[in-house]
Structure 1
Amino acid sequence: MNYLLGAFKPACNVLITFNDGKNRKQVPFKKENGQMVTIPLFQSQENIAGKITIEPMQGKKIDHNGVELLGQIEMYFDRGNFYDFTSLD
């Protein structure tokens, strides 16, 4: 029965650090479950650089196919409306 409980745990821990993370402006963001978190704010023409660390859990296998960056854009002339974007690397 214990093997069933372990089947629904994440296969890995993912840690994302940005190169300028300590100096980057943070803004509050409300998640779907209502919880508030702070997230980094990037503006147009800024490069996003950092490091992603993936640590597989003991006994778990993972398949890595690249990085997908998801976010929202708020246009200067259209405040209050957000547009989702994605970028694959």
Structure 2
Amino acid sequence: MRRRVSGHLLAAMAGAPSPALAAAPQAALAVEPQAYPIDAWELYRSRFVSAEGRVVDNDNGSISHSEGQGYGMPLTVAARDRANFDKL
């Protein structure tokens, strides 16, 4: 189950069709699907990425975890943000 959810999340971030997302009616979408990766990255970056590119766990003393870096990297790719990808 965990891999399936992760796969759907990565597909959504990359803009690829997913069975779970394809079932949603188009009228329910408030923004264009192309904006999802950029919006997701901007939200993630504003909450968790420091100026020097370190992904921080704000609830745990601002420490960094490899999975935080890993979550941020595909978001930068989907948002086509090479400068921040290189910083992470």
Same fold (TM over 0.5): no
From the two aligned structures, give the one with the greater helix fraction: 2
Q: Which is higher, the Rg of structure 1 or of structure 2? A: 1
From the two aligned structures, give the one with the greater strand fraction: 1
The bucket for the TM-score relative to the shorter chain is under 0.3
Give TM-score, length-normalised by structure 1.
0.24
